[in-house]
Structure 1
Amino acid sequence: MKCITCENLSFQIICKTCQNNLLIPSFHKRELQKDFFNFSFYSLSELEDLISSKYYFHGDRVFNTLAKLSFAKFAKNFSLDTDILAIPIDDHTRHEFSHTAILARHLNSKHIKAKYNCLKATNIVKYAGKDLEFRLKNPRKFKLENISNQSVILVDDLITTGTTILEAKKVLERKNNTVLFSLTLADAKI
């Protein structure tokens, strides 16, 4: 098979050379509300083609590679005195896999446990290419099941305006959960 980044022969979808040279995560912090932050590992311009792989059959392998390079390393170095749930935003399966579930799974560690199928959008509107006004007029209308009184990290692949993350945060807080922060692979504003 060929590496999808450099097109050299590789046993992996993204070769080790590209992983080591092109996909080095850097940590970005963006305040979405007072004292509530999103942390991302890449700028969208670095990953745009790779993130769009979520629409194709090979996307699960791409997301697993990206998650190993970023989310798994984060989890290995993160500690808190309490147990934390990693909640993927709207982790329903599209194109045979859930990209947000893959990201959350790589957060599993001594202190963090991924919890799936609990935060679902009831309004499946596509936000790609849409402005803030459109996003605010068409909320995701999340439904939360089986989570209350927990410390939570929200997980998504991309942050653009932050409206999806903030809407998910509100829904979780209504059930007395503490949303510590959100983690995304990429930030569109960097």
Structure 2
Amino acid sequence: MQCLTCKNLSFEIICKDCQNNLLIPSFHKREIEDGFFNYSFYTLSELEDLISSKYYFHGDRVFNILAKLSFAKFAQNFIFPNQVIAIPIDDHTRHDFSHTAILTKHLKSQFITPKYNCLKASNIVKYAGKDLEFRQKNPRRFKLTNISNEMTILCDDIITTGATIREAKKALEKKNNQVIFSLTLADAKL
């Protein structure tokens, strides 16, 4: 097959050279609310084409590589005094896989346990390309099941305005969960 980034022949959808040279994560921190932070591994401009693969049949392979290079490495170095539950934001499977579930799966470690199908949006609205005003007028209305009184981490692919993460955080806090931070693959504001 052909590498998506350099177009050379490769056994993987993104060749090892591109993984090692072009997809080196750098850690970015953004305050979403007073004292609450999102951490991301790339800027959106670095990954825009690869992130859009979530709309195609091959996206699961792309997201597994990106998650291995970023989320999995983060999990290897994460130490916390309590067990933490990693929750994908709206891990729906509209394209035969869930990109947020793939990212969250790679956080599994001694201190982090992924939990799926528990934070779902009841309003399926597409935010891509929409401004903050649109996002505020069309909330996702998250429904949370099977989680209460836990330490949690939220996981998503992109942070743009932070509206989705703030809304997901509030849904978790209503059931007495503590959201320590959120993790995203890319930050659109960088």
Does TM, normalized by the shorter one, top 0.5? yes
User: Helix, strand or coil: the match of 1:65?
Assistant: helix
Residue in structure 1 matched with residue 184 of structure 2 by the alignment: 184
Residue in structure 2 matched with residue 28 of structure 1 by the alignment: 28
Shift of 1:83: 0.2
Residue in structure 2 matched with residue 75 of structure 1 by the alignment: 75
> In structure 2, what is the Cα distance between the partners aligned to 1:8 and 1:114?
35
Residue in structure 2 matched with residue 120 of structure 1 by the alignment: 120
Between the two proteins, the alignment pairs up a number of residues equal to: 190
Identity across matched positions, percent:
77
Shift of 1:27: 0.1
Shift of 1:94: 1.5
> Where does 1:1-40 land on structure 2 (aligned, <5 Å)?
1-40=1-40
Which amino acid in the other structure matches residue 171 of structure 2?
A: V
> In structure 1, what is the Cα distance between the partners aligned to 2:94 and 2:111?
29
Which amino acid in the other structure matches residue 188 of structure 1?
A: A
Moved over 4 A (4+): none
User: Helix, strand or coil: the match of 2:102?
Assistant: helix
Instruction: Spell out, residue by residue over 1:23-61, the C-alpha distance to the aligned partner (whole angstroms, 9 max, x if none).
Output: 000000000000000000000000000000000000000
List alignment gaps of at least 5 residues for structure 1. Answer: none
Which amino acid in the other structure matches residue 181 of structure 1?
A: F
List alignment gaps of at least 5 residues for structure 2. Answer: none
Q: What is the root-mean-square deviation in Å for CA atoms of aligned residues? A: 0.3
Instruction: Spell out, residue by residue over 1:126-172, the C-alpha distance to the aligned partner (whole angstroms, 9 max, x if none).
Output: 00000000000000000000000000000000000000000000000
User: Helix, strand or coil: the match of 2:86?
Assistant: strand
> In structure 2, what is the Cα distance between the partners aligned to 1:41 and 1:155?
12
Query: Normalization by structure 2: what TM-score?
Result: 1.00
> In structure 1, what is the Cα distance between the partners aligned to 2:113 and 2:94?
23
Residue in structure 1 matched with residue 133 of structure 2 by the alignment: 133
Query: Normalization by structure 1: what TM-score?
Result: 1.00
> In structure 2, what is the Cα distance between the partners aligned to 1:37 and 1:95?
29
